[in-house]
Each structure stands twice: as C-alpha cells, then as structure tokens.
Amino acid sequence: MSLKISRSVLATAVVIGLGFLLSWGLLVGKPEPEPEPLPAEAVPLVDVVSVEPRPLALDVTTQGTVRPVLAIDLVSRVAGRVEFVAPDFAAGSFFREDDPLVAIEDVDYRFAIARAASQVAAAEQRVAEEQGAALQAKREWRDLGSPAANALFLREPQLASARAALKAAQADLEAAVLDLERTRIAAPFNGRISEKFVDVGQYVTPGTRIARVYATDAVEVRLPLTDGQVALLDLPLHYRGDDAVELPAVTLRATFGNRDWEWQGRIVRTDANIDEDSRVLYAVAEVREPFARGPGGERPPLVPGMFVSATVAGRTLQGVSSLPRSALRSDTAVMLVDSRQQVVNRAVSVLQSEAGRVWVQGLQRGDRVIVREPTIMVAGMRVEAQEVARVAGADR
C-alpha cells in the first residue's frame, strides 16, 4: 500500500517538474521582437480644378414694374359745358398728338373775342386822334417861334396813354382768342387714356380734371440693384454733360398669354438717392416703342403695370475666374493646393453667385482650387490633388 502511494507522489512530482521545465523553455527560448517602421500616414485625396482668369462681363438679373415715362392729368383751363367728346374718349383708347379729346361750349368766348376786338378798334382810333393832335400842337408851337415846347402842350402824355390802352386792348383780344382755343382740349403727345373723368353735358370749371393720360412713345422700369450688382455695371452715376456714353443694355422679360416675351431697352439714369428702407440703388431702364408688335407681329405691348424680370449687361472685368459653388469656404476665401502639395487659404472677391457656380477675382492662372475634400481641411495639411476639370473664366 505504501509502495503505491510513493509511486503516485513520484509521478505527480515528475509531471510538475516537466511543466516547469517546459514553461521555462518557452519563456527563455522565445526570440526577442524586432522593431518595425511605423506605417506611413494616409494622405487625403482632394478634387481640384485649375483656373484660368479672363476678362469677363457678368450680367445682372433684377426685376421691376413697368410705368409710363410721361403721365399727366388733362385739366380744363376754362369754364363751360362739355359739348363734345372724341369717339374714342374712353379708358384704354389711343390718341394722336393735338387730336381734340374734349370740346367745351365756346359761345361765350366768341362773344368775348368780339368785345375785345371792339376795344382794340376804339383804342386804335384814340391813338390816331392823339397822333393827329400831337402833330397839330407841334406846328402851332413852331409857329410861335419858341425853340422849347411843353410836353403836355405837345400831347406826349396823352399819346403815350393812348398807345398803352391799345396794347392793353390787344392783350385782352389775345387772351380771349387763347380762351377760345382752350375750349378744345388735347394732349401734346401721342398717348393713351388711362382714366376719364367727364362726359358730354357735364359743366366744368378751370382746374377740373378731364382725363388721366400717358405717352406711348416710351415706358420705364425702376430696377433695384444691390451694392454688389452696382459694382458689375457701368451705370450713369455722374453728371456727364454732352459726352456720348454707351448706356448699359437691358433685356426685359415677361409672361403674357402663357408665352414668354422680350423687349430691349437701356439704363438711362439712376435715382438721386439710395432707398433708405432697402439700401438699394434704383436704376431706370427705358424702352422705346413699347407698343410695337416686334418680330413676327405677335408680341403684346409692354403696358404700365406689367411685372418684368430684367437682365442688365455688365461691364468687362479683368481676372475673373469661374468656380463650382462648393469651392467657397467662406464669403471671402477658397483653399488651394500649392506646389508642395499643401493646403493654403486664398482670399478672393466674390463677384456673383448662382446655383452651383460662382465668379471671383483674386486668383492666378494655374491655381489649383479645392472643390471637394473627404475630410476637414486646414491650412498646411499635405494632400494628394486629383484634377477633375479645367474651368475657364468665361464659362457660364
């Protein structure tokens, strides 16, 4: 029994000893780790476009409402009953320059002319009588042998009074004739009636409104422009005297009858003041012959009250680059990849921005502008640039 226990203890000791030997061999005999180089840091891949700044004119888009250049109220300058109106004397009708629109009863004014003519004849008679009397007085005084004569004796004041009375009578006659002419009311331009206020049989007095009319040879549109838009245009901001100036061209567009139409005009002036509420400058575009049918003869008239969009031709600017909208990192900067493949910031001046595209100044030919990056970029970071396009400054 004791012999079996001794063998079991011995076997256990042997196993434990072999385990220690094996563990020691694994620990001591394991080769030392060899140092390995750190993996290279991954360089971000960015998309860039190379720019080619060019001279470019950028058009400006705005909008406004059509209104007449000349609109006036026709008023009566004499009193009387309206005895005639033109067949087309109605809102919306057209008229020609000096065509009679309304006539006022003129009997009283013809009587006034007759009375004034009588006064002129009487004044002429008095002048003739005084001239004869003055001539007779001179002869009588000369017969007396005196070299000096009294003005009153020679009837000089009486003759001057008679001549003054004649001028007054003639002026009264001219006024009576003018009043008669004013019984025929017309406009001094080709136009259209927007409102009428009188009709046949109505009694009018001086100052009574007859009709509201406007000229049809031209219309205008006040176009609001922001400070950035003003910088793109060559506007008539200063007094230029008689100097010939090429005014900016304007294309007006409107929808009428489910169709789009266009009219051509020019900026002729700007408002005298900046609008205090919106802080914009209003430029005035003028369109000549707004009622012309245009090519094809189907275009509707450009009537007052019509809402239009306007495209104003811009002035030519130097060094303009066109970029995708994604290239802007702020309103004043973009990011470039320089010759060392590092990111740098570049300040730019944004001239115009549209959906998906911007036009800027401040870049050099060949600058590689980052338009898309997979991670957040900071100045000085090393990147790998991938050219995706070459965007010219003239691309629209």
Both 322 and 290 in a single domain? Answer: no
Predicted local confidence at residue 394, as pLDDT? 40
Q: Do the strands 259-270 and 281-288 form a parallel or antiparallel pair, or are they unpaired? A: antiparallel
Among residues 312, 344, 364, the one where a domain terminates is 312
Q: Do the strands 384-392 and 45-52 form a parallel or antiparallel pair, or are they unpaired? A: parallel
Residue 5 counted as domain residue: no
Instruction: From residue 133, give the alpha-carbon distance in Å to each of 128, 159, 160, 173.
Output: 9, 9, 13, 27
Both 238 and 177 in a single domain? Answer: no
Both 281 and 361 in a single domain? Answer: no
Main-chain phi, psi angles of 275, to 5 degrees = -65, 125
> What percent of the chain clears pLDDT 90, i.e. is strictly above it?
53
Question: Which token pair is 252?
Answer: 């007006």
Residue for token pair 């309103």:
331
Residue 341 counted as domain residue: yes
Sorted by sequence, the CB contacts under 8 Å of residue 153 that are 6+ apart come out as: 137, 141
Between CA 175 and CA 115 the distance in angstroms is 12
Both 296 and 352 in a single domain? Answer: no
Both 292 and 323 in a single domain? Answer: no
Question: Which token pair is 388?
Answer: 């995706």
Q: What is the pTM of this model?
A: 0.74
First-to-last C-alpha distance (Å) of the chain: 107
Question: Which token pair is 213?
Answer: 């009319």
Both 223 and 308 in a single domain? Answer: yes
Question: Which token pair is 212?
Answer: 């509201």
The domain total for the chain is 3
Q: How many CA atoms lie within 13 A of 177 on its CB side?
A: 7
Residue for token pair 């109106």:
85
Predicted local confidence at residue 348, as pLDDT? 92
Between CA 166 and CA 125 the distance in angstroms is 9
Residue 242: which CATH number?
2.40.30
Both 51 and 110 in a single domain? Answer: no
Both 382 and 349 in a single domain? Answer: yes
pLDDT in tens, 221-231: 999 999 999 99
Q: Are 347 and 388 in contact (CB under 8 A)?
A: no
Both 223 and 297 in a single domain? Answer: yes
pLDDT in tens, 229-285: 999 998 888 766 555 668 899 999 999 989 999 999 999 999 989 988 889 999 999
Q: Which domain holds residue 228?
A: 218-312
Residue 283 counted as domain residue: yes
Q: Are 217 and 302 in contact (CB under 8 A)?
A: no
- Torsion angle defined by CA atoms of residues 230, 235, 239 and 243, in that order, rounded to the nearest 10 degrees: 150
Both 300 and 284 in a single domain? Answer: yes
pLDDT in tens, 17-52: 666 666 655 555 556 666 666 555 677 888 889 999
Question: What is the CB neighbour count within 10 angstroms for residue 175?
Answer: 13
Residue 152 counted as domain residue: yes
